[in-house]
Every structure is written in structure tokens, then in C-alpha cells.
Structure 1
Amino acid sequence: MRTLKFLQKHLMTATSYMIPFVVAGGILFALSVMLSGQAAVPDAGWLAKLNQIGAAGLALFIPILGGYIAFSMADKPGLAPGMIGAYLANEIGAGFIGGIIAGFLAGFVVIQLKKIKLAPSMRTLGSIFIYPLLGTLITGGIIVFLIGEPISGFMDWMTNALNNLSGAAKVPLGALLGAMISFDMGGPVNKVAATFAQTQVDTLPYLMGGVGVAICVPPIGLGVATLLFPKKFTRVEKDSGIAALLMGSVGITEGAIPFATADPLRVIPSIMVGSIVGNVSAFLFGCLNHAPWGGLIVLPVVDNRIGYIASIALGAVVTAIMLRILKKDATELDEALEEGQDIDDLDINFEDI
């Protein structure tokens, strides 16, 4: 249970810093897409500028996540290695899961570096120069030289595997695509599945019919869960649920990430099952989506809109029910971690987590 306490403390501390970036960036991005009326990112005018602002927030949240995991572990010397490491992880396509790994890696590296005894005259320099510099070099080096190539190869393998399955039966293909879309929410697995469907939108629009549903089920399902089962979520999570609903409606899967980072072992399986149900349902209903996008915003270019909406509803309800079953009620520990409080003095039984 000490390991669980360790992981949860640092993840939730980082999540509390990350949420404003996801919410601000995601809502502005969503508004730009919604107001454009094109079910796509606007490329001209003031809406393109609004989209640019929102995209900046979404681009920053993974470095913020990794940075504050390392900060929580190793204090200020861990901040730069964590942020830079998470940025690099995202650049090579590892997504938010890569950002989490980079954050814990940076925190561990800096903790080990701080065990090296420095002369008294060098201690201040260590915190602002030596530890951040060496921590960034080691963390960044591991990500760029050791992790980047395997991720690239893994994405190529997944792409080839999906191409070989393009003629498979709709139920297994829909289940696979739904699971991939929601597994890492913008990471390499998600990108492979989304690209597979987007590149065939003109010839096989049923693929985007399912994937368009799977894209929005995680944030919508989580938003619905915060409304139906509020005791399962902290105060900040309940507030984030409204933003998740808006982001999901315009096809921004990342609205689910704050929930997944805070409780990955319960949230990720729940949204995967929900997305599988939604994707398979859309395939079986014969929904065709003629836009390389997802969410409710593409309804004007969807064939069988009732089936499309029903598939989203089914996936969201299944997600919410899964969360109701798997998640325990939010505790004093969760609220303390969310506020960044020192939890060591709290009277909490970790066997209940």
C-alpha cells in the first residue's frame, strides 16, 4: 500500500496543476470548432486565432503533468527535468502516458542526484543548476535514445496490423478501434486508430462513424458519471465534468485525461469498455461519418444520426456504470491530495483505497 500511496500522491498533485490547462485550452479549442460549424479546426479568421490559443493550452498540459509529478517527488530541481522529459515524450508520440512515465523518471533521477554530497558552497548552485541540468540530460537522453525508437516501431506495427484487419468483421474491428481510441486518449495507440479511420473517410465512412463515437465517449461518459454519481468524485473532478461534456461534444477526447491521471486503474478500463460499446454500436447501426472528426458536432455530415446519437449515449452510460462499480467514494485523502496538502498527518486507512 505504500507504493499506492506514493503513486497516488504524486499523480494527484500533478493533476491538480494540469487541470486548468486542459479545461482552459480544451474549452477554447472546442468553442472555435463549434462556432466554425465545419466539424474541423478553423483555418482562417478570428476563430483560427481562438483555436490557436486553445491548442496552446492542450499542448502544455502534458509537460505540466510530467513537471509537477517530478516536482512533487523531488521539489523544484525536478520541475525542469520533468517538464522537458514529458514534452519530449509527447513529441515522440507517447502521449499523456509517456508524460507520466517521464515525470516519475525525472523525479527518481533527481532524487538520486540529490544524494550526491556537494560542498557547502555548492549547495545553492546544486538546486538551481547542477540537479536540473543533469536531471534533464539524463531524463531527456533516456526518452530520446531509448524510448523514441521503440514507440515509432510500435506505431508502425499497429498501423500495419490495422491495415490487415480493414476487411474484418465489424464487431471485432469496432471493438479493437474503440479500445485503441480510449486507451491513451491522444497517445500513440489513439493516433494509429484515428488515422486509420480518417484516411479512409471518403471510401469507408463507416469507420469514422464508429471512431467518431469512440472519440467522444470517454469525456462525455465521465461528465455524465460526475452528474449521476457525484460521491465518486472530488470537488475539482465534478467541476471538470462539465468541461469534459463540452469537450466530448466537439470530439476532444483529452477532456477525460484529468480523470485518468488521477485514477488510471479504474478510469481507463471504464472508458475503454464504453468506447468499445459505442464504436461497435455505430458499426452495427450503419452510421456513416463523412468528416475526419468526432463528437456531436459532426451530426450534419452523419448518415443515420439517430443511431449515431444512440451509440454515444450507450457508450457514455456504460462508462458511467463501470465507474459506479469500480470507483470508490471520494475520500478525505483524495480531497487533500487535490489541494496539494501534506497527507502524512491525515488519519487515513489506505486499505480502503
Structure 2
Amino acid sequence: MKTTNAFYKHLMSGVSFMIPFVVAGGILIAISFAFGYTAFQDKELFFGVPYYLMQIGGGSGAFGLMVPILSGYIAFSIADRPGLAPGMVGGLVAGSIGAGFLGGMVAGFLAGYVVLGIRKVIVLPKSLAGIMPVLVIPVLSTLIVGFSLYYVLGAPVTFINKAISDFLTSLSGGSAILLGLILGTMMAFDMGGPVNKAAYAFGTATLVLGQGSAVMAAVMAGGMVPPLGIGLATLAFKKKFSEDQREAGKAALVLGASFITEGAIPFAAADPARVLPSIMVGGALAGAISMALGCTLAVPHGGVFVFFAVENILGYVIAVVAGSLATAALLGVLKKDVE
């Protein structure tokens, strides 16, 4: 149990530091698209504003930093400041070899524990102790993490990442509704964990600049529902939540509207047996309806703030509302009154 708690503590540390980059990048990309889906391709249009917005928010800016930040701060959580350099470099390497978010997570944990190992194995005389944090640890740990990813771990992690993507792609033909259901469930399952990030990475991979993606729409719908549904439940079924939870429910509504699935974590941690099934059903329903109604999304993040980048916005609102209401209703049925 302690090992599991430590794993999620370190993982959520990385995710929490990554979220501002995801939100900032997603909204800047959405603003760029507001000038026209292809306006960013011409540096001369609108004084270059859409072009530079895409540069700042996209792969050359905020979005390009997502995996290194995730990886770096997982390592930071494990090994403190010395874990940051090997963690971030490991995240960059993971991205370069196609290992994605999954590779970034592996790199972060590897970097953190490699640093802890170096501290135990290498003991220098007091006169040289000062070079450990500035020379020995960063150089050795970065070297070990980088070589491990290139020569040992990179291939299997990339294979797993691709296998998940290929499986989901195979459903996108004749089984679009089933795909939406699976993606919505994955987004709700661990609320920012490996399964959630695998679904999100698949969604972003289907985006073609200037075009909407049905998969990305289903992913965002499924990810918005858990905190939104919980927030609604705290308003509709007040007796089933403590005063602190009712206050947290207001924040969950804002986080859900912003597509920050992690807003559901405190509630799921307190009552996983009832909360997890409720949010997974709601997420699955939202993803399936989004796919069934042919909704598409042209940006990777932003929640309600990027609804102008949604095609069939009415259908999309129906999907998100239906999923949120389903989650709230299930919580109302499953949870007991607070004594």
C-alpha cells in the first residue's frame, strides 16, 4: 500500500507541474485558431499574431515541454533537486524516440531512483563532497538515464505506446462509438495517471493542424466529466458530502470546465469504491455520445474556453452534460449520507 501511495504521490507531482503548460499551450493554440484554422501558417497574416501564438503554445513552446516537465518533476518528487536534470533530459529523450507520456513517466521514475542510488553508492571525502550535487550526480544520472532509454527501455516502452495507439486506431473505423466509450473510460479511470495520459496522448496524436479530430473531442469530453459530475453531485446531494467536500466541489466544477480531470482525485481517494465507477460511467457516456454525434475538436486542451474550436458544439454540450449528470446521479445513489 505504501509503495502504491508513493507511486501516485510522485506521479501526481509531475502531473501537477505539467498542467499549467498543458492549459497555457492549449488555450494559446485555440486563440491562434480563432483567427482561422490555417492562419498560423502565414507569418504575414494579422501581423504574425496567430503564427507566434502557435509557436508559443505548440510543439516549439508550451506543448513541447509537457513530457520533460512531467518526467523532471516525478524525479524531483523522488530525489529532490538533483533529480530534476536527469528527469527532464530523460523526458526529452523519451519524446524524441516516440515513447510519449508513458516513456516520460518511466524516465522520471528511473531518474529519481538512479539519483538515490548514486547517493548511496558513491561516498566522497568531505573535501570533495561539494562536487557531488553539481557534478557527479547530474552527469552520472543523466548519462545512465539517457543510455538506459536509448539502449534498454526505449524500445519496449515505445512498443507498448504504439500498441495502445494501434489498438485504439483499429477501433476508429467501424467502431467509433465503442472507441469513444473506451477513451472516456480511460480518461476517468485514473484521473491524470498512466491510463488517462495514454488516452490523451492518442487524442493529441490524431490532431492535424487546422482540422478537427473526433477522437480528441471524445477524449476532452471524457476528461471534463469526472470533476464536473462530482461538483454537480456536491450541489444536488449535499447530505452525502462533508462541508469540506462541498467546498471542494465548487473548485471541481471550475477544474472540470477547464478540462483538468485531476480535480476529481481528492473525492476518488476518499471513496474509490463509489466514486471511480460513477466517474467512469459518466466519462464513457460522454465519449460515446461525442463520437455518435460526430463532434470534432481542433485543439488539444482548454475545456469550455475552446468550445469555439468544436464542430457540432450543441452535440458536444449534450455529451458533456449527459456524462456529468450520469456521474452525479450515480454518486447520489451509491454514496451514503455523511453522519
TM range (shorter): 0.5 to 0.7
The residue that corresponds to 1:43 in the other structure is 41
Aligned length: 306
**How much does 1:112 deviate?**
0.7
Going from structure 1 to structure 2, the CA distance change for 1:75 and 1:162 (only over 3 Å counts) comes to: closer
Q: Which residue of 1 aligns with 2:74?
A: 69
Counterpart AA for 1:43: Q
Counterpart pick for 1:130 among 136, 160, 175: 136
Structure 2 CA distance for aligned equivalents of residues 322 and 11 of structure 1? 28
Match of 2:289 among 277, 281, 286: 281
1:109 pairs with 2:114: yes
| Deviation of 1:73 (Å) | 2.3
Counterpart of 2:21? 21
SS in 2 for 1:82: helix
Task: Kindly state the Cα deviation for residue 138 of structure 1 after the two structures are TM-superposed.
Answer: 1.1
Paired AA for residue 41 in structure 2: D
For residues 1-353 of structure 1, the aligned pairs below 5 Å read 1-33=1-33, 35-36=34-35, 38=37, 42-44=40-42, 45-55=48-58, 56-115=61-120, 116-158=122-164, 160-162=166-168, 164-165=170-171, 168-169=174-175, 171-179=177-185, 187=197, 189-192=199-202, 208-209=213-214, 212-219=217-224, 221-223=226-228, 225-226=230-231, 229=234, 231-232=244-245, 242=254, 245-246=257-258, 248=259, 255-256=260-261, 273-284=281-292, 287-289=293-295, 296-299=307-310, 301-302=311-312, 306-318=314-326
- Equivalent residues of 1:15, 1:65 under 8 A apart: yes
In structure 2, the CA distance between the partners of 1:139 and 1:289, relative to structure 1 (3 Å rule), is: same
> C-alpha offsets along residues 266-300 of structure 1, whole Å, 9 cap, x if unaligned?
6987765444212322344xx2346655863344x
Corresponding letter in the other structure for 1:216: A
Provide the rounded CA distance (Å) in 2 between the counterparts of 1:47 and 1:179.
34
Given that 1:279 and 1:311 are in contact with CA atoms closer than 8 Å, whether structure 2 keeps it comes out as yes
> Does the 8 A contact of 1:93 with 1:187 survive in 2?
no
The AA in structure 1 aligned to 2:35 is S
Report the 3-state secondary structure (helix = DSSP H, G, I; strand = E; otherwise coil) of the residue aligned with 1:118.
Answer: coil
CA distance in 1 between partners of 2:131 and 2:154 (Å): 32
Instruction: Give the whole-Å Cα distance in 2 for the aligned partners of 1:159 and 1:138.
Output: 28
> Could you tell which deviates more after superposition, 219-228 or 92-101?
219-228
- Alignment-mate amino acid for residue 309 of structure 1: V
Letter matched to residue 64 of structure 2: A
When residues 125 and 27 of structure 1 are mapped into structure 2, their CA distance, relative to the original with a 3 A threshold, is: same
TM-score by length of 2: 0.68
Q: Unmatched 5+ residue regions in structure 1? A: 249-254, 328-353
Q: 1:318 to 1:164 in 2, by over 3 A?
A: same
